Every structure is written in C-alpha cells, then in structure tokens.
Amino acid sequence: MIDMRLMKENPEPMRASQRARGNDPATVDAAIAADDKRLETLQAFENARAEQKAFSKQIGKASKEERPALLEEAKRMSEKVKTLEEAANEAATAAKQAAMVLENQILDGVPSGGEDDYEVLSQEGTPIRDFAAEGFKPKDHLDLGLGLDAIDTDRGVKVSGSRFYYLKGVGARLELAILNAAIDTAIAHGFTPMITPCMVSPATMSGTGFLGEHSDEIYYLPADDLYLTGTSEVALAGYHTDEIIDLSAGPKRYSGWSACFRREAGSYGKDTRGIIRVHQFHKVEMFSYCRPEESVEEHQKLLNMEREMLAKVELPYRVINTAAGDLGSSAAQKFDCEAWLPTQQRFMEVTSTSNCTTFQARRLNIRYRDENGKTQTCATLNGTLGTTRWIVAILENHQQADGSVRVPAGLRPYMGGLEVLEPVK
C-alpha cells in the first residue's frame, strides 16, 4: 500500500510511476479523492459524536419537565451519529479499495514499458560455449534428463496432468544439491534458514500484493479459504504481520525453503517441454526487513548473493533491470539474472530480486522504532537463491558429447563428490 500522506503532498511521482507501468494515472487522483472523502466523513462523524456526548450531560441535570424533549433530541442525535458512522465506514472501505489498486511507486532508474523493455546491466560467468567447434550438437535439458534417467515427465503427466514431472536419481540429487548450496550460502551471509508454510490466508496473500492483476496465477483452496504459495516470499512477508520488529542491529534476514505452486495461467504453449515452466517446484528464497533508507544497499546485497550462487554452478548469465510494466504490483525495482540456454539460443530467467520498499509492510502493518522511539514502516526485499529451474541451465551448459553432464565444482560437495553424471545404458 502507498503512503497516502506523502502521495497527497506530491502526487506527480506516483502518476509518473503509473504511466511507466502502463497503468492509468487517473487512479492516483481517484485514490486521493477517496481519501479526502474518508477524512471528510470521519470528521463529520466525530463532530456529531462529540456533540452527542456533550448533549447527554445536559439530560442528567435537566428537570422532570425538560427531560422528555431532551430525550427525544438525544434519540435524533443518536440516529444521526449512527448514519454518519456508517457513511464514514463506507468511505474508509472505498478509500482502502482505491489505494489498493495502486501499484508500488517505482524507483529512479527503472525503465518504462513492458516485458521487452528491460535494460541489460551486465553479462557474466563462463563464456558461452561453441558446441559446433566441439563437434557436436547440444541436446536440450529433457533429452539429457531422459538419458540420465533424471527426469520423467510422462509419468508426471499420467499421475497429475500437464506440467508435472518426477525428478529421480541424479535429478533429485541435483535439485537437493542446488537448494542445500543455496541454504549454506544464505547462512554464510547471516540469513536465518526457515521451512515455511505452503498455504496462507487471504489476508497474507493480499498483503504481499499477489491478489491483484495476476491473481489467476494462484491456486485457491475454497474449502479451507487458503492459497497455495508460489514463493516462500509470501509466508516470510507475513511472518511479522502486526509486529514492531527490532532493526537496531541491522536488517532482519530470512531464507525460506518451500515447495511452490503456480497455475501458469496465460502461458499455454510457452515452455511446455520439460521442466522450465511447471506447476510445482522447490525454491530457496531470501527475504529482508530493513529501514527504508537501507533498502537500495540491501537490494545490491541480495543481487550479489545471487551472483555468488551462479558462479558456484558456473553458468553464463546476464543481469537485467526489469521494466516497470513487468515488475509486479509490489516491487519498486527488480533485477533478474538470466542464464544462457544453448538449445534455444536465448537467456532464461533463473533468479530475480525485488525491492518492495514499504509497500508490503504497510499492508501487513510491520514496523520498527527509529532513533527517537517513533514507529516507522519497514522496507521488505526478496530474492531467489536457488530453484528447480536451475537444473535446465546446468544440464544444457555442462553437457558433454556422450550425453554425460559435468557437475559444477560448487555442487560436488553436495553430490557426494560426484564429478560427472553418466547416461544410463
């Protein structure tokens, strides 16, 4: 949620943010008007209630003859107060709804536009291989996975439907290696590891900003009134709901390991082969609570940790500054790390990290005390440190001519020292 007081003092930056996202800037003025109406009706209710309280004191002092008329007037005033209270409540609800429509105000430096309007910040990692010079045509991750007996999509479809799969043997070990390496990296940087719930309440899901335009991505369980999470970011954001947390020693940092669930609505026909875009996967997510003025520095820390993990698995990748229209409602800025996919000759997102400034914490009522003891709203940030999709890039980039796959040195300790994944005869 937006800081309404600041926006009303200077609405133009928010209008510009809405335009950069491809949204209607008139929503800013609608939210301001709704908040003005809320304040107006609230003042009218409070004035009437104060008048009622003052009037009620006269009744006890009145004579027997005066009392009937005063009681009649008190009844009229009570009805008026009740009507004004209902109007104030309706205006407050309308103001909240108008504010919830607004997406987070983007930070300076975020490109305007949509999915294809990103800015490439750098290209990193092992140089992209020339497979032709090595004398063979690269296989895609599914063919490699089948040869290694590591991925089984046919039985995943049989048991659960499209976009489900089994990881088995070295495939299961590879996923666990990625996730355990991510947890160890997080711990080394002072993050508290957590196994998080995969189901959350509507209040938590809404508070993190996931029930907006893309709510059709989320699995809902109506019998329980719970949502399946597509990232442990949601559960980690909700962890300190309605709390005042201690940030005197610096940011609070958590790292959540969870299964994740996404409907992939609207993605039909895209990345349907293999395990690039699936309904269920595992992920280790970083999450930070910090003071707003520390959020830009903290964002760079999360990005550097993602770079550290990508170096461990020796993937060629690039970092992009995501355009405003592709941020999602809660992010004020997002950096994606995209690994090279040899068989598709393109970069594929493997991590992202977002600075959500105070947007989520304001919705979830998460605060801290400043140096003067006054409560302030926290900033929240998140970032992916390892996920199932990494298997795709690792298999394709580290494959060898005979169908075997070299295990990156950074994952070997988590694979029992295994250096090469060999095809099953």
- Asked if residue 306 belongs to a known ligand binding site, the reply is no
- Asked if residue 134 belongs to a known ligand binding site, the reply is no
- Asked if residue 351 belongs to a known ligand binding site, the reply is yes
12 catalytic residue (yes or no):
no
d(CA 378, CA 356): 10
- Asked if residue 285 belongs to a known ligand binding site, the reply is yes
- Asked if residue 293 belongs to a known ligand binding site, the reply is no
Token couple for 62: 């009145």
277 catalytic residue (yes or no):
yes
d(CA 365, CA 377): 7
**Catalytic residue, candidates 277, 318, 369, 412:** 277
173 catalytic residue (yes or no):
no
Task: Please write down the long-range contacts of 131-137, taking CB distance under 8 Å and 24 or more positions apart.
Answer: 131/342, 134/401, 135/401, 136/401
**Catalytic residue, candidates 288, 330, 352, 354:** 352
- Asked if residue 157 belongs to a known ligand binding site, the reply is no
- Asked if residue 131 belongs to a known ligand binding site, the reply is no
- Asked if residue 264 belongs to a known ligand binding site, the reply is yes
- Asked if residue 263 belongs to a known ligand binding site, the reply is yes
**Catalytic residue, candidates 294, 308, 349, 422:** 349
- Residue 347, C-beta contacts closer than 8 angstroms, at least 6 positions apart: 317, 318, 338, 339, 340, 341
**Catalytic residue, candidates 262, 362, 363, 367:** 262
- Asked if residue 175 belongs to a known ligand binding site, the reply is no
- Asked if residue 384 belongs to a known ligand binding site, the reply is yes
- Asked if residue 352 belongs to a known ligand binding site, the reply is yes
**Catalytic residue, candidates 253, 354, 389, 396:** 389
352 catalytic residue (yes or no):
yes
> Which residues are designated catalytic?
262, 277, 349, 352, 389
* Known binding-site residue numbers for L-serine: 231-233, 262, 285, 382, 384
* Known binding-site residue numbers: 231-233, 262-264, 278-281, 285, 349-352, 382, 384
* Known binding-site residue numbers for ATP: 262-264, 278-281, 349-352
